[in-house]
């Protein structure tokens, strides 16, 4: 591993993040706002990171994708890909924010606003590290690619095209690092201290529509089973046990790392569960909530539709389901299981969109070790722990040909802060921006030739 470079980080990272937040890059509101906020954000990056734009090659890939290449000393080696996205989700006008969501207020040791954690803060610490290393005259051991998407929150077409472009050029990344995990306290009951939850796999996602037709007519003489009733019965049959629990390799290793850091019954319990994967899958499923979601495919009905009037039987009814596919599951396989569980040929099961669950990246190889080494500098109190990312990230377009794909933002986020992502009063601690920059600086410095 290369020696650390003598770097004096630029002051003012919190002000730069504040300026990023002030630009409302809401990808779901592109029709209303137009492309101007996204172009303004790209121009702002040029202003804030002049050395990055002077020394790195930049490509615009689609209207919303930015790909930077930082040539390394050995450009024949497989590159590192550092990812982030600069679009954000909408803000509900009825929500009561402490400060306006797009003001970028700096107060109380925090930068407040939409995107502070998801994902402009993580994007900023990548660019801060690159800019500071360039100012010190540093060149990485191998190429470093920065892949920034502007529509991750609307299914990530830019990241997909960037991934396809690199794949078409025969580029196979040595490591890919995107958002997805974070440094957190109390990650499981009985566990003490902090942990850096590094996503080594990512659940898949599928949007499925159930629909059924029935006889229309007056609601005063309903048939035994209406279209609405048929769809409702189908949804009711899709219980949490529709998909069996299975423990990815990351879960036993996670529990094994947590066991010595646990108190009371947690220590022998986690040691036992780490030794018996089939048992920890059942135990997590029984716990429900986030624990159960780690080990099996979840089904969430999100929309119901049908009917044209209060006193008219609908001729068609439908329900939309959001599935998060456990590691090892495919979209096609999940749809087949839904059909079997519903057991009604009159209910159509249609996949509207989806991505298979990711393969599981190794947690015992040099790439994971590099992440852990960078963490020992930025967050020395935290242990690097593999886990499964449950939300979808842009990295899902890379893991098909990049076997070392990880999901981790090097920022401390307690449970309350994590709840502000896509919620109210999103904010990041100013001190964490410095720690995040140090993480990426140590990771880039430590890349092997």
Are the beta carbons of 386 and 422 closer than 8 angstroms?
no
Q: How far apart are CA 300 and CA 178, in angstroms?
A: 26
C-alpha–C-alpha distance, residues 217 and 141, integer Å: 72
Examine the pLDDT at 181 and tell me if it is beyond 90. Answer: yes
Per-residue pLDDT of 331-384, as tens digits, reads 999 999 999 999 999 999 999 999 999 999 999 999 999 999 999 999 999 999
Contact (CB, 8 A) for 196 and 183:
yes
Are the beta carbons of 347 and 211 closer than 8 angstroms?
yes
Q: Which pLDDT score is estimated for 3?
A: 66
User: H or E segment at 31?
Assistant: helix 30-33
What was the pLDDT predicted at 176? 98
Q: What kind of fold does domain 204-243+300-356 have according to CATH?
A: Alpha-Beta Plaits (3.30.70)
One CATH from 3.40.50.970, 1.10.10.10, 3.40.630.10, 3.40.50.10490 for 13-189+358-445: 3.40.630.10
- Spell out a b/e string for 114-134, using b for 16 or more CB atoms within 10 Å of the CB, else e: bbbbbbbbbbbbbbbbbbbbb
pTM above 0.75? yes
pLDDT, tens digit, 9 for 90 and up, residues 290-320: 889 989 999 999 999 999 899 999 999 999 9
3-state secondary structure of 197: strand
pLDDT cut 90: percent of the chain above it: 89
């Amino acid at each position: 591993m290369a020696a650390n470079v003598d770097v004096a980080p630029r002051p003012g990272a919190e002000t730069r993040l504040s300026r990023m937040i002030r630009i409302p890059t809401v990808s779901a509101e592109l029709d209303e706002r137009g492309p101007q906020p996204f172009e303004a954000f790209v121009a702002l990056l040029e202003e804030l990171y002049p050395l990055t734009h002077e020394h790195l090659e930049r490509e615009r890939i689609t209207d919303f994708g930015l790909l930077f290449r930082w040539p390394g000393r050995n450009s024949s080696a497989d590159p590192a890909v550092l990812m982030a996205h600069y679009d954000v989700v909408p803000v509900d006008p009825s929500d009561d924010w402490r400060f306006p969501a797009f003001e970028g207020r700096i107060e109380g040791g925090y930068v407040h606003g939409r995107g502070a954690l998801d994902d402009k803060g993580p994007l900023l610490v990548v660019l801060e590290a690159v800019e500071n290393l360039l100012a010190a005259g540093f060149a990485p051991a191998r190429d470093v690619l920065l892949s920034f998407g502007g529509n991750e929150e609307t299914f990530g077409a830019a990241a997909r095209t960037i991934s396809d472009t690199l794949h078409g050029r025969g580029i196979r990344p040595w490591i890919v690092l995107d958002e997805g995990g974070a440094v957190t306290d109390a990650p499981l009951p009985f566990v003490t201290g902090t942990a850096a939850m590094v996503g080594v796999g990512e659940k898949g996602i599928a949007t499925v529509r159930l629909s059924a037709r029935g006889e229309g007519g007056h609601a005063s003489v309903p048939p035994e089973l209406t279209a609405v009733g048929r769809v409702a019965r189908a949804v009711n049959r899709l219980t949490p046990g529709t998909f069996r629990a299975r423990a990815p390799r990351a879960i036993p290793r996670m529990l094994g790392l947590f066991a010595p850091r646990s108190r009371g019954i947690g220590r022998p319990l986690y040691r036992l569960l780490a030794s018996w994967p089939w048992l920890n899958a059942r135990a997590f499923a029984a716990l429900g909530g986030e624990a159960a979601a780690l080990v099996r495919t979840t089904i969430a009905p999100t929309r119901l539709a049908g009917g044209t009037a209060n006193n008219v039987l609908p001729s068609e009814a439908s329900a939309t389901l959001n599935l998060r596919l456990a590691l090892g599951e495919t979209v096609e396989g999940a749809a087949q299981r839904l059909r079997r569980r519903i057991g009604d040929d009159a209910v159509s099961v249609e996949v509207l969109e989806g991505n298979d669950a990711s393969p599981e990246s190794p947690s015992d190889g040099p790439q994971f070790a590099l992440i852990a080494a960078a963490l020992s500098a930025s967050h020395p109190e935290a242990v690097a722990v593999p886990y499964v990312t449950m939300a979808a990230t842009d990295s899902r377009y890379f893991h098909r040909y990049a076997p070392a794909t990880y999901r981790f933002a090097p920022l401390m986020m307690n449970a309350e802060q994590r709840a502000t992502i896509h919620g109210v009063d999103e904010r990041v601690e100013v001190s964490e921006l410095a720690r995040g920059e140090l993480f990426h600086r140590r990771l880039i410095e430590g890349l092997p030739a």
